Structure 1
């Protein structure tokens, strides 16, 4: 948070990490726009009232304005594993698509 008072609980340290940009079709009039998925920030809010925020954590922007906040290392590892599993499923779907296109006349 930013305010004119500069209260200690507003102090935050961290570093952002990029996500993968995807071209997302927003609507017929505006066409596609690039949106980053799985971008985020490693943060620590040393004076925050919430104990989870006072230690380093990840805030992960899943898509657009949807954010998973205050992920611990274990929670973040769980998300990574789920995304990896999903990507493996997507590779199977890709193979099915290739087969379907090969058989399409």
Structure 2
């Protein structure tokens, strides 16, 4: 029976511990990734959910309009409303470390 020298066993154990530390770090990063992905997905669902009723109402109003000037006026109002909503939504985003790496 071959007996390994003690320094070989110790080196193998150190290598195994380093590997396990690396795996632990990788698992932590994967958890953070999924957490950020879930948050972005939640924001997207909220945005779409808020957008759909307004889009339906907007389509009804456009179909009822007879003059192109009315449609243009409505589009201007919608652009102003959308810009205000975008500013409001940007305030809800966390500042600093963004999940996409784009800090504000």
Which interval holds the TM-score relative to the shorter structure?
A: 0.3 to 0.5
Q: What is the TM-score with the length of structure 2 in the denominator?
A: 0.34
Quick one: higher RCO (CA 8 Å, sep 6+), 1 or 2? Answer: 2
The structure with the greater share of residues assigned to helix is 2
Higher CA-based Rg: 2
